[in-house]
Structure 1
Amino acid sequence: MAMQSTTKRSLSRRWEDYQPTKTMLVWACIAAIVATMVVGFSWGGWVTGGTSQAMAATAGDNARGELASAICVERFNAAPDKAAKLVEFKALSDGYTKRQFIEAGGWATMPGQTSPDRLGVQGCATALAA
């Protein structure tokens, strides 16, 4: 009968002696891939193609609205009766009537368009109210 050694092997020695099976290696790789994807989509800022297209469309709409707003303010300021229109605009009480006033004035309708841009009208009303 061989006598068993009662001494404990060190962690580094046990690590050197460990020989994982192919199945264990495959599952470890799969777990690493899944963990990478979870971390990437949760905290890493990764997005799907559909999400990135929606974000790009929203950014485009916002940029178009900001541009339309700036043009609207410039047109309003270039009008010959600017002072009277500004007094009339500031006398309006709620945002809806202010937006209607800007739409009716035609300042928010961009060249080549038949109707004003909604975000442009909102931005113009906000800028003129300030």
Structure 2
Amino acid sequence: MTALTKNTPRTRVGIGQRFRDPVAATTRIFAGAMVALNATGFAVKAAPSATRIRGVALDEADNSAGAAGDVAVDIERGPFLVANDTTNPVTRAHIGGTVYVVDDTTVGSSATGTIAAGKCLDVTPEGVVVEIL
């Protein structure tokens, strides 16, 4: 590619918070699940073994019978309320710090053997408010 030599409109994608990712083979992601990317860049349910967090699924994406990329999932980044781990719970002392993926609906305070879910914004009786970036 060469540098621009004239005005060129850009397509804005939402407010930079919504994306559409191809889903990994034989994978089903439920609406509301935290979504991560695997090593090859395909969407999977968030799990400690994933490569990096991506966002939260807006709708179900069922690629359980398909090859990688046969189905896509719409995800959104931003603050979401998720469950708090009972083994390594997030406390008010963690507000402002990083919290970590336990599964596709739960975060905890331990970084051991997992990936970052995002920044803890609040801890409530209902769960943890995590900003997924």
Question: Which category of TM-score, normalised to the shorter sequence, fits these structures?
Answer: under 0.3
Asked which structure has the greater RCO (Cα within 8 Å, sep 6+), the reply is 1
TM-score (norm 2): 0.25
Based on CA coordinates, which of the two structures has the bigger radius of gyration? 1
Structure having the larger proportion of residues in strand: 2
